[in-house]
Structure formats: C-alpha cells, structure tokens
Chains A and B, each alone.
Chain A
Amino acid sequence: MASDSEFQTVGESGWLSGLPNMLRKENGKWWNTRLWLTQSLIWAFLLNGLFSLVLYLNNQGTAQMGFPFESVVFFYSLMGGMTPFGVMILTQGAIVEEKKSGTAEWVLSAPLSREAFVLSKLVVNMLWIFGTLVLLQGAVFELVLTAFGMEIVPVAALMKGLALHGFHLLFWLALSLMLGSFFKGSGAVMGIPILLLAFQDLIADLGRIYLPGIELVLPKRIEEMAAQVTLGGPVSSVIPLFAIGLQIVLFALVAFWRFKREEF
C-alpha cells in the first residue's frame, strides 16, 4: 500500500494552486480527444479548401487572383471572417458548461485557485487555437501556393502576419471567457461577440461621425494590419495593438474578478 510519506506533495500556493494540473487537463481535452485533429482538418477545409477552389477557378480563367496582393488579402479576409467564429464556438462552453455540469464545483473543491481555473483555459486554448487555426493554416496556405505553382510568401513576413492574426483571435478568446464568467447560458456568450463581429464596420462608420478614433480600437484593424505585414508592409500604427492588448488584459482581469465571486 502506498503510504503518505512516499508522496511528494505539490508545491504551488496562492493563485498558482492547481494550475499545472489544470493546464494538463485542458491540454488533454485537446490532445486526448483529438480535438486538435478535427479542428485542423475543419479549418484546413474551410480556409485553404476555399482558397484552393478560388485559385483553381483562377487557373480556369473564371476568377482573377494574382500574387502577392490578392491572394494574401483574400486569405486573411477568410481567416478574419471565419476563425473568430471558431474561437467563439470552441470556447463558449469553457466556463459556462463547467458551471452548468457541476465539474467546476467539483474541481474547485480541490486545492485549485479560481484564477488558475480561468488562466488554464485562456493559456491552453490560446496555444491550441494558434496552432490549429493559425499556424497550421499558414503552413497549408504556403503549400497551396506551391501546389498552384505560385511564389510562396516569405516565411518571416507570414509569421509576423500570423502572429498578428493570433493576437486578434486572443481578443475573441478573452472576451468569450469573460462573458462565460458572467453568464449561466451559452446564448449571451456566443451572441455578444457575434454581434460585435458583425457590426464592427457599422461601429467604425458611426465612430467616424460621433466618436473619431474608435475604429482604431476595434479588432478588425489588427486583421487588416496582419495582411499588410504579410505583404512586407510596416505596422501602420501601434495604437490598435495597444488598444486590443489592453482590452485582452482587461477581459482577462474581469474574468478572474467575476469568477472569484461566482457561487456554486
């Protein structure tokens, strides 16, 4: 029989309590259930499949797509329009479902801090989303260009663009987790980001009239910058980067604050 003296007890304390174990568990949710594989395939089909179809039509003379401008801009417009929905779908239940099913109550009866609970979801989802929805799709994008006999995008420029796109998705991830810490159902957690995504252009237009400068703090600006950087252009302004970064930090802090007050 394993006696207690044989064991090494965990060393974390305070807000770090239980974090390594939760990180492992969240990672297992992606790895052990092959979520990484299904997401990789789904997004390869949706993004690069569609991109390939347009290139194919282009070769047939029924579409006009050149390199680098049109193909890069088109690819980023696909990513910017679709992958935020992926983030919302993947993370809408991350906190809400655990509250509803009782698993949050269960794990929080162990020595796990509430900050660690939220942080594990933020970190692991961010890494896997970046891996499967961004990095892998960028690699496949290069393969598609090669397959169609087109010049590939310089890797360094593509990496910079993808990093910006990942940063853009982190905004939606943090927003989704923050909303999950407030609401009991998935409706609002999905609905509010969808509305924001859908009405970004309208908000930007109204902002030009009533609140100049607001377009600089909307996540779509990051997406536009990602395409520019991939094409070898400079970062046109750091204001959107700071603004989105600040919002991400704010969403995360609000999620920690709200989840700490949650009663199970």
Chain B
Amino acid sequence: MSGHGGLGALEANPSNQLVIETQDLSKSFGDTEALKTLSLEVPKNSIFGFLGPNGAGKTTTIKLLLGLIRPTAGGATVFGHDITRNSIDVRRRVGYLAQVPSYYMHMTARETLRFKARFYYSGPKNAIEERIEETLEMVELDDKADRPIKGFSGGERQRLGIAQAQIHRPDLLILDEPAANLDPMGRRDVLKIMEDLRKYSTVFYSTHILDDVQKVSDTVAILNHGELIAQAPINELLTGSGGPVYHITFKRGHDEAHRRISAQEWVSGVTVVPGDIRTTLQVAVTDEEAAEDELLKLAVCDGNSTVTEFGPRKYELEDVFVQIVEESNNGQ
C-alpha cells in the first residue's frame, strides 16, 4: 500500500485525488476489536470493492465513515472533511445504501425519494419532481412509484435503496452489500446501475460476492478480522504476486518444448501440470516482452507440438481472496 501524508495534509489539499482516506482507524465494541488500525485509500472515480468474510469489519468501517458510530482511535477524512468533526459535511456529498435498507412504511416510493431529496434541495419543486421521476425510471420503479413500500419485494426495496442513495447525485456512493439478497437478475441490474453511476460518482461498496467484484470493480481492499490485508487494483491482484506466469497447453509434444523453453535466460521456472488429454506448462518469466514474443514460437518450432491454449495466467478473484485470507488467518 502506498503511504500518505497524514489527514491534515489531505484536508488542506482540495485537489486531492483520494476520496476516502483513513489513518489507523479503529473501533472496539467492549472487548471486541471490530476494526484495527485501518489505513485505506479510495481513489476518485473508482468502483472500490471492499471485501471480507462475515464479521471482518466492513459494515463497521462504513458506519464510521458516515458518523453513525464513533472511532475508538485513529481518524479518517472523506473529501477532506473529518468524519467526526464534520460529519454533516461528509454526508452532504455521500449517498448510502444500508445492508438491510429501512424506510418509513407509510410512505410510497415517490414520497420516500421526495423526503430524501429535501435533505439536499429546497427547490425548485418541479426540478425535484423531475429528478425523482428520472431516478424512479432508472431503477425501474416508475410503475410502482405511488404504492406504499410495505408491499414491495426484497429486490424492489433494494432498487429503491439505490434510488434514494443517489437522488442527489452524490460524489461518493457507499453501498453495503448492495446485491446480497437479490436473485441473479436483480444482481445483474444492480451491477449495471453501479456502472452507470460511475460517470459522476465514486462507488465504495462492500460485498462478499466475489464474482460481482471481478465484473465491476477497478480497485479492491480485503479486510479480515478487522485488519486490512490487501489493497490493490484488481488487475494487479488477479495477476498474482509471484511475477508474471504464462501457461501453454499442449495436445501433444510438450517434452521437447519444455526442454527448449527451460533453456531460455528469461525463464525462471517451468511447472508441468499433466491432464487427462492435454498437458499444461506454467512458465514463470523475468521478461514479459521476451515471453510474449518468443514463448509460443519456442513451443511449436519443431513442428511436432500442437498448442491449444496460450496466454498469461490469470487468477480468479476467489482464489486470490481465499489465499490471502488463509495466509492472514495462519499468520495470526
């Protein structure tokens, strides 16, 4: 993780490209340390996935940022505003969707959005109503706008949650498990909305659905037992930490290719992964350019080898997540 110049420096610099910056942020509930010295940086205009197993401290972090709970130690700024001293200034620029969204059940969806909008806008009335209408259409609740919320399904309540969170077009959207209780179609819709919102907002969201993170996030942080154990752009995380590795899958003739490839200076190791029909060579390299230019040629140059797949090895986020969390658990 990159270092930073302290919260004072961030507050003094309005052009800072970090939207959220926490420094040793900690929270205890009695004897339980829910969050331990979290130092996190969320860049502007990112879709930032905040991952971790249940009880890792994700919701605690979000509530601290919104001033719903107070830190035990450390501090944080959002848009340069201190989360404790200037919480209302923070909340003016933030939209929030709770893990289990709650509303006033006597209100309709339209009334709920009108109520929320009035925390930010005093008028004009027609512009507010127009914004409400656009937002209802965006989350496809326009046909249910005037029905009481108590009759809404889980997915409809979640969509209303997203609508109310961004009714004022916030600079930062904080979503706590936005797709947790949705079916696959609902999840797809929510991810699409998140991608659309990126045009004008930074999206900071917590989740444990790794597939979603891989689809939409550009930066991720992984939290475990209240501690930050990784923060990186998602591509960096998926490439792995042991240097570039390429995989070559052979239908036949891998032995000769193995010998030729191992002899190259820029190859630091070759692992053979035998399969029922095909065999894969995993080639660790020190020079990616040489590998991309030469590796495939070396594999097929004798004319006896048949290659069916070639490319840089990509990890699934789930593999990376499990590996990092297990390492963290073993280290404790």
Contacts and interface: CB of A to CB of B under 8 A. Distances in A.
Interface of A: 1-2, 4, 6-11, 13-14, 17-18, 20-21, 24-25, 28-29, 32-33, 101-103, 105-106, 108-113, 263-264
Given A2-B131, A10-B122, A111-B120, A29 B106 contact: yes
A10 B102 contact: no
Interface size class of B (residues with CB under 8 A): 35 or more
Interface stretch (B36-44, B64-72, B309-317, B320-328): B64-72
Interface of B: 63, 66-70, 88-89, 91-92, 94, 96, 98, 100-104, 106-107, 111, 115-116, 118-124, 127-128, 130-131, 134, 169
B38 to A, nearest CB: 17
A21 to B, nearest CB: 4
Nearest to B99: A102
B119 A18 contact: yes
Closest 8 CB pairs of A and B: A102-B102, A109-B96, A110-B119, A263-B69, A264-B68, A2-B130, A21-B118, A7-B121
Given A13-B88, A21-B115, A112-B119, 6 more contacts: A7-B121, A7-B123, A20-B118, A29-B104, A29-B106, A113-B88
Nearest to A100: B102
Given A32-B106, A263-B69, A109 B131 contact: no
Contacts, number: 94
B68 A102 contact: no
Nearest to B94: A109
Contact of A110 (B63, B101, B116, B169): B116
B66 A6 contact: no
A101 B106 contact: no
A200 to B, nearest CB: 35
B91 A111 contact: yes
A28 B108 CA distance: 12
Given A4-B169, A109-B91, A263 B68 contact: yes
Contacts of A13: 88
B102 A11 contact: no
B123 A109 contact: no
B119 A105 contact: no
B65 to A, nearest CB: 10
Contacts of B131: 2, 7
A113 B106 CA distance: 23
